[in-house]
Chain A
Amino acid sequence: MSIEARERRQPWILLSPALTTIGLLLFVPLLFIVVYSFWLRTATGADQAGFYLDNWREALSDPFYRDILLFTLKIAAITTLVCAVMGYPAAYFIARSRGNKAILLLLLMLPFWISYIIRTMSWINILGVSGALNSLLIWLGIISEPMQMLYNQTTVILGLVHFLLPFMILNVFVSLEGIDVTLEDAANSLGATKWEAFLQVTLPLSLPGLAAGGLLCFVLGAGTYITPLVLGGPTDAMFANLVYEAIITQLNWPLGSALSLMLLVVLGVLVMIYNRYLGMAQLMKGLG
């Protein structure tokens, strides 16, 4: 074999273990559940192979599923918005700080490394009946009986924001860091106020980072089922909870396949729109 041919082959040898793993453990299984979603769960519990539209008819026409899908998108949208409003100024502060940026960023990333389940349950310590907030309010004499603050939509959003905020801040920070600071000075010297300079120069230039952070928050938020289980009430189930119910509790795997694919398509469309306009490179910057 010539040296050039060997040189051409080498990267593929290096890539093949990873590509094979992802192909066999992700793409083939995804194709498999497409097939599985047309099978039928029979009364005896065995799954009947074939081409039945029953699962899809149920998943697409039952208002129960549609309502929960809309509820899920709503929760994810509010979470993303709150993350943007909370995260942007914080990221701006870190990016423009004269202090030690690395330490400021590391501090904010620490909670990101702390266990998701611990961070989620930690809100029970704050908002629970005998939690920090109720204890404080009773001690101050503002209330006499503890209030029930947990297990509703708001606490689900709160838990999600706490989980996802670092993703937003990191992405916005990365794009703010890439902006030349002297651009703002130039705008100022041309007569713009600080606020105008920010709105017309810095903000538009940082939008790709905001969009990347927003996409991550939305997709991760819309795909969660643990947060609603820990911090939500009985009516706060999100779409991923339906998938969990169908697969693990009811063992209705064909229906669970159809529901999973619905979630994949809805969130996949978002990722594709993002990819079409902004490309994946921005997302990689924030993740890497």
Chain B
Amino acid sequence: MGWQLIRGYALLVYVFMFLPVAVVVLLSFNASQFGSFPITGFSFRWFIELAQNDAILRAFRTSMVLGLLTALISTTLGVLASLALVRYRVPGENVISTLLIAPILVPEVVLAVALLLFLNFLGINKSFALLLFGHVLFTLPFVILVVQARLIAIRRDVEEAAMSLGASPVQTFFQITLPLMLPAVLAGALFAFTISFDDITGTLFWKPGGVETVPTQIFAMLRNSISPEINALGTVMIAMTVGLPLLGAAIARTISRKSGV
């Protein structure tokens, strides 16, 4: 009886989480010329209009490039730091860990203001470079947390076996450690990309005038009212954000199955 109650309650929580998202998807296929109820028919027209909207396509390209560069830099820095924390005994490890996740602990608005003002003082104005610096800064802790958690699970004896069979440390890293780490590295990169792609809080402070990312473009379009195009864009982003991690998980599983671990 008590368990039934908890189950019902949890179901309501699931509905609460999914209902608004489901409505976005539903309305994006609505034929009506307003982005709202009533549903007048099924149509792909808003997706077609979306594909022809230059502003949105530009924003999409900006977000993609920014997300990929952020993922590349953050993952490189994060994997190196995680290796140090997991594989070595570093004096003051707790302090270092706290320093490394500090960008999560500082409110993003404050981080955004500090970076904007400091880099401006150094002569770096609002620009793509500033956006990239910012995105690397706040995705880095997440990469470190994710990679570290996965890295701990990798057994060291495989590496020791390779070394005892005569492999050099560099050979061991590239032929043993890196392939074993690949799922962790991909998970970290995916996390960084998603967070960067989704960010608006810092991005609104750092972006130069005229440059929009997908979230800031949506935000700018919201000023009027919800156009059906925003719902269509929302559906595309939902498909992407839901699809990408699933794809990532599938790739990670395939890789780890192939390597037989």
Contacts and interface: CB of A to CB of B under 8 A. Distances in A.
The binding surface of chain A is classed by DSSP as: helix
Nearest to B38: A135
Contact of B13 (A33, A110, A165): A165
Contact of A114 (B218, B222, B238): B238
A81 interface: no
Interface residues of A, number: 83
Nearest to A243: B109
Contact of A124 (B113, B226, B238): B226
A130 B137 CA distance: 41
A117 B215 contact: yes
B81 to A, nearest CB: 4
A18 interface: yes
Interface in A86-100: 86-87, 89-90, 92-94
A260 B37 contact: no
B141 to A, nearest CB: 8
Contact of B101 (A107, A113, A284): A284
Given A121-B230, A288-B145, A244 B78 contact: no
B242 A110 contact: yes
B106 to A, nearest CB: 7
Contact of A222 (B19, B97, B107): B107
B131 interface: no
The interface centre, meaning the residue of A25, A118, A135 with most chain B CB atoms within 10 A of its CB, is A118
Given A118-B24, A130-B37, A287-B145, A30 B219 contact: no
Contact of A224 (B9, B34, B201): B201
A114 B218 CA distance: 14
The binding surface of chain B is classed by DSSP as: helix
A97 to B, nearest CB: 8
B230 A10 contact: no
B18 interface: yes
Contacts of B110: 30, 223, 243, 260-261, 263-264
A117 B200 contact: yes
A15 B77 CA distance: 8
A151 interface: no
Contact of B148 (A114, A135, A224, A288): A288
Given A118-B24, A247-B116, 10 more contacts: A10-B88, A15-B90, A18-B77, A19-B99, A115-B197, A115-B218, A123-B20, A130-B34, A240-B107, A288-B146
The 10 closest A-B pairs by CB, nearest first: A223-B107, A29-B118, A122-B20, A29-B114, A93-B10, A14-B84, A11-B88, A18-B81, A130-B36, A11-B84
22 contacts: A15-B81, A15-B96, A26-B115, A89-B13, A90-B9, A115-B218, A115-B238, A122-B23, A124-B222, A126-B20, A130-B34, A130-B36, A131-B36, A162-B16, A194-B2, A219-B107, A223-B107, A225-B109, A226-B200, A263-B110, A267-B107, A284-B97
